[in-house]
Amino acid sequence: MVYVYLVVAVIFEVIATSALKLSEGFTRLWPSLVTIGGYSIAFFFLSLTLKTMPVGIVYALWSGTGIVLIAAIGYFAFGQRLDLPAVIGLALIIAGVLIVNLFSRTVGH
pLDDT in tens, 47-77: 999 999 999 999 999 999 999 999 999 999 9
Indicate the pLDDT class of residue 101, thresholds 50, 70 and 90.
Answer: confident
Length of the chain measured in residues = 109
In a domain, 108, yes or no: no
Quote the number of domains for the chain.
1
What pLDDT, on a 0 to 100 scale, did the predictor assign at position 27?
Answer: 98
Decide if 12 contacts 41 (C-beta within 8 A).
Answer: yes
Name the residue range of residue 93's domain: 2-103
In a domain, 90, yes or no: yes
The span from the CA of 74 to the CA of 53, in Å, is 30
The span from the CA of 54 to the CA of 106, in Å, is 8
In a domain, 16, yes or no: yes
In a domain, 35, yes or no: yes
In a domain, 54, yes or no: yes
In a domain, 109, yes or no: no
What pLDDT, on a 0 to 100 scale, did the predictor assign at position 105?
Answer: 81
pTM: 0.90
The single-letter DSSP state of residue 26 is: T
With 70 as the cut, is the pLDDT of residue 109 above it?
no
Half-sphere exposure of 21 (CA within 13 A, CB side): 13
With 90 as the cut, is the pLDDT of residue 14 above it?
yes
